[in-house]
Amino acid sequence: MQVYMVKEGNQKPGEPLLNETIDLKEYLKQESYFGFAASTGDPQIELNCVLKWSLQINNQPDDENDEKWWKIGAGVCVSVVMIIFIFVVCGVVFVRRKRSKASLEEATEFGSYILKWLPGMPREFKYKELKKATSNFHESMKLGEGGFGIVYKGVLLLNDKADDGGTTTTTTTEIAVKKFSRDSIKSKDDFLAELTIIHHLRHKNLVRLVGWCYEKGKLLLVYDFMPNGSLEKHLQKGPEQDTLNWNRRYRILVGVASALHYLHNEYDKKVVHRDLKTSNILLDADFNSRLGDFGLARALENEKNSYNELGLGGVPGTMGYVAPECFHTGRATPESDVFGFGVVVLEVVCGKGPGTKIRHNQHLYSMVDWVWTLHRDGRILEAVDENLGNNFVHDEANRLLLLGLACSHPIDSERPKTETIIQIVSGTLPHASRTSVQACLHLA
């Protein structure tokens, strides 16, 4: 018996794969049937297929039974060898495709099962709903872009049926859809960090989570739409477009301080935002502040005070808002959040970003150093945004500038706690930050 095996379309090889002399009577009964069978050894994967087989008899035996058994034996051997070869080829392709889809299937399974059972979870959206609401994530609907994804404006159509079964009315509601930029399992940690924290938070100065979508590898979060955009965009506008009068600026900072105090002290776990900056402070229709973008936030256990203890070390955040000790320790703490808040306070009052270079007395200063210099010279109110002219409350401006300097103290333990910050912005403790400010000036 000689067995040859070749891919379809190729010529017959010169040497047989199997070349044996056998007596089939020793293995088969007088009457037998033959077919094809194969086994992979793996109970989870099996793919069997026979494409083509043929049997040729070169030496015709004299005995009719011998002829029959010869055909049967040859057919069985050829078929078994061929099926093994075909199975190996098909199995390799099958396993590779299965592995390439494994992470996507894991993410889909995770999203469709685990997330639904998180307590207090908001609405789960279908991907096609959000795709339609954002005009297929059109560029014209884009609100902003960060390190974790792109935020789009969306318009949901809601059908409201009358209680008496009468006419159905259609209403619209505006939403903000955050589409994570890495639509794969690689962004699952970022997605879950934001979702598992913010879906529990309840505060009037935090952006409210409306819903989520985890479908077909797409990761999306849905928030209330903030019609006045980010605080940063308003601060960057020219004086002719300035809509941030003093009362609005002061109210915005009071709201951010309240939100930060809630995260650090009033929620059941201590939450450190880690990316407090003006672009992450959004404004509603009445210019009330809403702190958002919790992509870098983590909930710390009550007995822990840094991310190193959770295995989440590093220096997260945005340059200019990151506390100096973070670059040495790799730790993010509530005190580093306070530093970021201090920079935000100075930016709102001065109308200048932390990276702005300001020429003063023949020297170039950063925004924070410039305010320190003016304070040392007894001219701190000169730091107030010139777009405001003289339309601001001098006592409030002086209080906020001192607070901003105190929060940006180079030693984290000297920065005020959020309880003190709330008292300062409310005016009940107007001079509490002076000690810290003087200490900073002495160190300088």
The set of catalytic residues is: 275
Using CA atoms, how far residue 28 sits from 196, 249, 318, in Å, is: 66, 95, 79
Q: How far apart are CA 224 and CA 177, in angstroms?
A: 9
Strand partners, 175: 154, 224
Q: How far apart are CA 198 and CA 25, in angstroms?
A: 76
Q: How far apart are CA 18 and CA 23, in angstroms?
A: 15
Helices (H) and strands (E) in the chain, counts: 11, 14
CB 401 within 8 A of CB 430: no
- Residue partners of 344: CB distance under 8 A and separation at least 6: 253, 256, 276, 277, 278, 281, 321
Q: Which of 393, 391, 372 is nearest to 383 (CA)?
A: 372
Half-sphere exposure of 155 (CA within 13 A, CB side): 8
CB 66 within 8 A of CB 73: no
Q: How far apart are CA 20 and CA 180, in angstroms?
A: 63
